[in-house]
Amino acid sequence: NGRRRRRILNPLDFCIWGTLESVVNAKPHRSIESLKRKLIQEWDRLDMDSVRAAIDSWRRRLALVVKHKGGRFE
């Protein structure tokens, strides 16, 4: 599935959003504005070493996709 492959390659999807989602959704929000504020607050708190690690992992994943000509790999 092409959409799944794109998600696997996107550092935001395979790393960052999962982290943000767990923190942001720890408590329910009463409004969209509350959710937006919390997302921005937590985005600003992201550990840059984690972001760099996600980017480095992305490079490795991209190389695997090229090596396997877009096919499946683990």
pLDDT, tens only, 4-44:
555 566 767 767 888 889 999 999 999 999 999 999 999 99
Count of other CB atoms within 10 angstroms of residue 58: 17
pLDDT (mean) for 38-62: 88
Question: For residues 69 and 38, what is the distance between their CA atoms, to the nearest angstrom?
Answer: 40
pTM of the predicted model over 0.75: no
**Are 24 and 39 spatial neighbours (Cβ–Cβ below 8 Å)?**
yes
Rounded to the nearest angstrom, the gap between the alpha carbon of residue 43 and the centroid of all alpha carbons in its chain is 12
